[in-house]
Amino acid sequence: MTEKTNHGVKRIGILTGGGDCPGLNAVIRAVTKDALFHGIEVYGIRDGFEGLILDKVERLTRDRVSGILNRGGTILGSSNKANPKSYATGGRHADGSPVLEDVSDDVYKCLEKHEIEALVCLGGDGTMSAAAPFAEKGINCIGVPKTIDNDLVGTDITFGFATAVANATDALDKVHSTAASHHRTIVVEVMGRNAGWLALNAGLASGSDVILIPEIPFDIDDICEYIRERAAGGRTYTIVCVSEGAKPKGGKQIVDRVDPTSPDPIRLGGIAKWVSNQIEDQTRFECRHVVLGHVQRGGPPVAFDRVIATRFGHAASELLRSGKRNRLVVMQEGRLTDIDILAAADKQRLVDPNDCDLLDAARSVYTCFGDGEWQVA
């Protein structure tokens, strides 16, 4: 049996920031059970950092976290609008824009009230960025990498990514049949604002003919020529997988709306429709588009995410018990390790167009990225 040691830590808090993600509950379960075993009290903070701003804190017990391993989402709730440094308190300026305030003092008061000595923060670059000022001020913050975009700097994999890829791949698989039956081009829009890992992996797994990612601006004329050559060779349908953040050469990302109450106000969406319309107008081939949206991040986590989330959660608890401060659990070359949590704040891990074995593998099976480097089998 493992020796019970905690280096003086008596009470910790755990929060889930940013968008929800399969595997969050698995991490909550692992952190809580491990900490309780070692005599550490665990408090769940509801709705990300908003729970510390508005004092929404609850004690977590073994019963509370039992039976949640296979549940999607998060039992604690989440928020992507709750950065304490820039929080919409409800006030409005004269022009109608929201008043954003620094409410960090409310966070410190909440931590002090509940005698929480350290925070386990589950999230992506936004959550780590929100945690960074508190880490710099002496609050011990241990990060666990969560994002379906797999774009957190310092780690090769984030939990939730494998499930999102599986969900997107399943949807792409399903449109093959209707595309083949009706001899259509179907454009499927997946998530990925600045990083194309989700589109690249799901597109490759599903055998998509065209994959468009933010890191490689595309030429729509090039894509249309590729589709024409496929048709001339007897391939009567084409599947296009496009990241929401993909953009044409010389163009901009398509913005669906702007949410001024959010620290990250831009909401992308509409690229699939634009690409679909362009293809149909230029080629005269029938074309349809599908936007997967939040379907990608929903449902129970796949087995891989349940395992890695549990490993991440255990590692986070170990870091706290070992006395380490302000670290981020990461996976590098198949091994669990940790880095400074500040190293991941305000940064994103992107696909390198000039050095990525996945890109090379996709091109080797005649995938088009809209950059002129393709051939039709």
Distance of alpha carbon 18 from alpha carbon 203, whole angstroms = 25
Angle formed at CA 123 by CA 117 and CA 125, multiple of 5 degrees: 110
The helix (H) or strand (E) run that includes residue 310 is: helix 303-322
Distance of alpha carbon 94 from alpha carbon 101, whole angstroms = 16
- Bridge partners (DSSP) listed for residue 24: none
For tokens 């706290």, the residue is: 320
Tokens at 291, concatenated:
């936007």
Tokens at 235, concatenated:
């391939």
CB 155 within 8 A of CB 331: yes
Q: Where are the alpha helices (DSSP H) in 159-270?
A: 161-182, 197-206, 220-232
Cα Rg for the chain, rounded, in angstroms? 22
3 state SS of 362: helix
User: Strands 41-45, 57-60: parallel, antiparallel or unpaired by DSSP?
Assistant: antiparallel
Q: Does residue 20 have an active-site annotation? A: no
For tokens 């319309």, the residue is: 277
Tokens at 139, concatenated:
């609050």
CB 142 within 8 A of CB 319: yes
Q: Return the closest-CA partner of residue 15 out of 85, 74, 64.
A: 74
CB 48 within 8 A of CB 18: yes
User: Strands 238-243, 185-190: parallel, antiparallel or unpaired by DSSP?
Assistant: parallel
Report the sign of the C-alpha dihedral through residues 317, 319, 325, 327, in that order.
Answer: negative
Q: Return the closest-CA partner of residue 61 out of 39, 32, 31, 24.
A: 32
- Which of 149, 151, 209, 222 is the catalytic position? 149
Active site residues: 149
